[in-house]
Structures are given as C-alpha cells and as structure tokens.
C-alpha cells in the first residue's frame, strides 16, 4: 500500500500539470472503452451477481451491484459529459488589488490524491475516475469484494485510456486485494493521500472516521423526508412522492418518511395509499395515520411504526407516515430523524416554504420537487464522487470544483513588508 500511495502521489503531480485536451481525450477513450467492451464488463459483473446471490445478499444490494447495457451506456454518457465540462484547474477568482498595489487572486488547484472506499456500486469506479482525471487528482480506489470482477474490468479500461493519452496509469490506482486489512492501511497513508471519501453504510463511515489519519468526507446515507403542507397541491404531492419513493428505492436520495399536515391527512392519505400501494409500497404508520389507513385504505400494506422505524434507511419499497399538527412540528420531527441528506416540502404557502428552507439544514432542501434530484448528474456536475452531508469545504454532490482547493497568488512590483 505504501508503494501504491507513492506512485499515486507522483502521478498526481503529473496529472495536475496535464492540459485539458489530454484529460478530455482520456475521458473520451474511457467512454469508448465502456461501450466497446460491453460484453466483457457484463460477463465480469455477472460473476459478481452470481456470488452475491449465492451469499443471500438483499435485493437492494443486488440492484446496486448490477450493471446492464442501459446502465453502462448511461455511465459512458456521464463520462462524456464530464469531458465537456469546463476544467476548473487553473481558474483564477476573487481577484483584488490592495491599497499598497499588491495584486492578489486565488487559483484553483487539485486536492492531490483521493482515497475512495466504497461498496457494491461498480459505477462508482468510473464516476470517481472520470471526475478525478478531469480535476487533476489521482485516486486510489478500494471497492468491495462483492464487485471485484466488475471493478477489474472497469479499471483495465481506465488504465488503457490513460496510457493511450500519455497520462500515468497510476493516476487511477486500484487496490486489487479484498482483505479488509488494506482499508486500515489506506486510512493511514497520510504521507501520500490527501482526502478519504467512504461511500457505503454507517459501519464503513464509522470505521473511516475513527481510524483515519487523513481528513474524511462522509455522506451518501439518507433518511429523507417530504413534508406535505396543508396548502399543497395534492396531485403534485402524489407525483413527487411516487417519484421519490418508487423510481429507485435503493439509493440514498430516495424518500424515507412522508410527513403530512393533519388538516389534509384524512383526505390525502387514502389517495397516497392507493397511488404508492399500486407500486408495492408498504407503510409504517404513526397512530393517527394507522387509524386513517384502517378506516379508508384497509387493503393497503400497512402496520404500526416502531420507534426505530423513523431512523431506518429502508432502501426498499417501505415508507414511514407521520402526521403533524403544524410546520413547527414537521421541522422538529425532520431535525430529530434526518441524516441531513435530502428533505423537501410540498406547499403553496410562501411563508412556510421560506421557513422550511431556512430551518431544515440538509445538504439538499427541495421545494415542490422530488428528493431524487440530489445527484451530481442531475445538478449538472456530470457525476459525483459522493454526496457530502458535512459542513466543510463541500456539501451535497461533489463534482469537479468540489475536488479542488486553491492557492493564493500574490503579485507585486518590488513590494516589501514595512517594519
């Protein structure tokens, strides 16, 4: 691992000086490789799926693991989008001239070497590689054992693309060893790695925070809420809830709990039960919601919510249902149970919307829109290395600019500091 770190640091120096044209050419070659070697990638992925299925992995886990032609072509499209985005490296900003004539500006520079530890999602391999290359960062990737065959196939494409365009293969390094001891070693490579980004469950995040000697950015887990206000357009609310819960329930920006104002609950919840229930959604209800379901939607799949349900990331077609008496209660409930990922309001009351946006402190706050939009591609970033829920230099989807820092450039004309 020390050798891997040293090679990545050297590659980062080279990549930081690379021109935009060379980096973009490598990205286009990666996209071409993904579409040109579909059969090889899908065959490798099939081996991973077979092993995960034999181990009895949960359906949401298998879904995250699965690649198919449509998903691969979409990943290739994302890589091409990154190639088309402006290169942030070298960008000058915040220029100022001081009273003494000194001229100052900030210049964007890469962070250096990213250590990315992730589970189950082979698409992350390409997302990270593409964004790292474009932003001039090297990366060390450590995927889960469940994706080892898929990741080997994907990394081989990245290495071929880098070499073909005169960039170091070590700019995208891959830990081809599934021993978990390698994670602990990576977390201590502070001489070579500048930032650790874990993408996985709570256990992985805790492991990284407690053991890393390198700064860690965490996120990518969401217990997400949508509050349906008394003033909401109910048809709009149903469309938003359906999209947020049903479109892809296995991801971190999917809906977890519906919070409904008591003034519309009697009318709205039966409609919601029918609409979402047709897609197979089951409900965990607080006592008042359970009573309404029992009287007006007895055929729905519902049961009383246990206290732990409000703090569960379902990653499946399960949704909590909470009735509140006021906006204050809704905000307090969200504050108590949110993971600061994606929370939203459906409302036509400007004052309520303003308060919700001001007081709900998630990295993505959504007004009359689905939480499923909390995504680097949807935000126009091309892709993302993670969705940060922390309050350091980056929050939300981390795209190209979020993978840069800056240095001060100070220009004078023989200036010396007075004594």
Interatomic CA distance for residues 60 and 311, integer angstroms: 18
DSSP letters, 274-299, are HHHHTTT-EEEE-HHHHHHHHHH-TT
User: Given phi > 0 = left and psi -120 to 50 = alpha, else beta, which region is 228?
Assistant: beta
What pLDDT is stored for residue 386 in this prediction? 87
CATH T-level topology, domain 2-217+398-411: Aldehyde Dehydrogenase; Chain A, domain 1 (3.40.605)
Question: CA angle at residue 209 from 206 to 214, to 5 degrees?
Answer: 150
What pLDDT is stored for residue 231 in this prediction? 97
DSSP letters, 29-65, are HHHHHHHHTHHHHHHHHHHHHHHHHHTT--HHHHHHH
**Look-up: residue for tokens 């050297």?**
10
pLDDT at 176 > cutoff 80: yes
User: What is the rounded end-to-end Cα distance, in angstroms, of the chain?
Assistant: 49
Give residue limits of the domains in the chain.
2-217+398-411, 224-373
Query: Do residues 100 and 90 touch, judged by C-beta distance below 8 A?
Result: no
What pLDDT is stored for residue 306 in this prediction? 97
Query: Do residues 362 and 331 touch, judged by C-beta distance below 8 A?
Result: no
| 58-67, 70-79, 254-263, range with the lowest pLDDT | 58-67
pLDDT at 146 > cutoff 80: yes
Interatomic CA distance for residues 74 and 284, integer angstroms: 34
What pLDDT is stored for residue 59 in this prediction? 86
**150 or 58: which leads in pLDDT:** 150
Query: Do residues 373 and 115 touch, judged by C-beta distance below 8 A?
Result: no
What pLDDT is stored for residue 134 in this prediction? 97
Helix intervals (H) in 66-178: 69-84, 123-134, 148-164
| 6-20, 57-71, 381-395, range with the lowest pLDDT | 381-395
Quote the DSSP letter at residue 216: B
pLDDT at 102 > cutoff 90: yes
**pTM value?**
0.86
| 213-222, 337-346, 359-368, 410-419, range with the lowest pLDDT | 213-222
Question: CA angle at residue 145 from 245 to 38, to 5 degrees?
Answer: 70
Q: What percentage of the chain reaches a pLDDT higher than 90? A: 88
Confidence at 269, pLDDT banded by 50, 70, 90: very high
CATH T-level topology, domain 224-373: Aldehyde Dehydrogenase; Chain A, domain 2 (3.40.309)
Q: What percentage of the chain reaches a pLDDT higher than 70? A: 100
Alpha-carbon torsion (69, 75, 78, 83), positive or negative? negative
pLDDT at 137 > cutoff 90: yes
Confidence at 381, pLDDT banded by 50, 70, 90: confident
Query: Do residues 362 and 300 touch, judged by C-beta distance below 8 A?
Result: no
State pLDDT tens for residues 276-317: 999 999 999 999 999 999 999 999 999 999 999 999 999 999
**Phi, psi (rounded to 5 degrees) for 94:** 55, 45
């Amino acid at each position: 691992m020390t050798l891997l770190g040293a090679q990545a640091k050297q590659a980062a120096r080279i990549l930081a000086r690379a021109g935009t044209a060379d980096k973009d050419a490598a990205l286009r070659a990666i996209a071409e490789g993904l579409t040109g070697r579909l059969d090889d990638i899908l065959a490798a992925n099939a081996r991973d799926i077979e092993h995960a299925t034999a181990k009895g992995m949960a359906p949401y886990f298998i879904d995250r693991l699965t690649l198919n032609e449509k998903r691969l072509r979409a990943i290739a499209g994302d890589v091409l989008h990154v190639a088309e985005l402006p290169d942030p490296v070298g960008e000058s900003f915040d220029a100022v001239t001081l009273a003494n004539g000194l001229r100052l500006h900030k210049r964007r520079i890469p962070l250096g070497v990213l250590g990315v530890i992730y589970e189950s999602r082979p698409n992350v391999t390409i997302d990270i590689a593409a964004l790292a290359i474009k932003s001039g960062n090297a990366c060390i990737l450590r995927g889960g054992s469940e994706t080892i065959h898929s990741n080997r196939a994907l990394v081989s494409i990245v290495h071929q693309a880098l070499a073909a365009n005169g960039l170091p293969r070590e700019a995208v390094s891959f830990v081809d060893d599934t021993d978990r001891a390698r994670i602990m070693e990576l977390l201590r490579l502070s001489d070579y790695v500048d930032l650790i980004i874990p993408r996985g469950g709570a256990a992985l995040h805790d492991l990284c925070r407690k053991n890393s000697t390198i700064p860690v950015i965490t996120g990518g887990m969401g217990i997400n809420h949508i509050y349906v206000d008394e003033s909401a357009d109910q048809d709009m609310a149903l469309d938003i809830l359906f999209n947020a819960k049903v479109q892809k329930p296995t991801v971190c920006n999917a809906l977890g709990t519906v919070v409904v104002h008591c003034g519309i609950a009697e009318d709205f919840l039966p409609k919601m039960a029918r609409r979402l229930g047709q897609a197979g959604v089951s409900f965990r209800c607080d006592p008042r919601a359970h009573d309404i379901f029992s009287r007006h939607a007895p055929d729905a799949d519902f049961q009383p919510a246990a206290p732990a349900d409000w703090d569960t990331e379902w990653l499946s077609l399960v949704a909590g249902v909470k009735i509140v008496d006021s906006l204050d209660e809704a905000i307090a409930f969200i504050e108590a149970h949110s993971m600061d990922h994606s929370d939203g309001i459906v409302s036509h009351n400007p004052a309520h919307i303003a308060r919700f946006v001001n007081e709900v402190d998630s990295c993505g706050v959504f007004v009359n829109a689905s939480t499923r939009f909390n995504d680097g591609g949807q935000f126009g970033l091309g892709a993302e290395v993670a969705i940060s829920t922390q309050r350091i230099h980056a929050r939300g989807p981390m795209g190209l600019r979020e993978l840069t820092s800056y240095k001060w450039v100070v220009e004078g004309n023989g200036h010396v500091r007075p004594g």
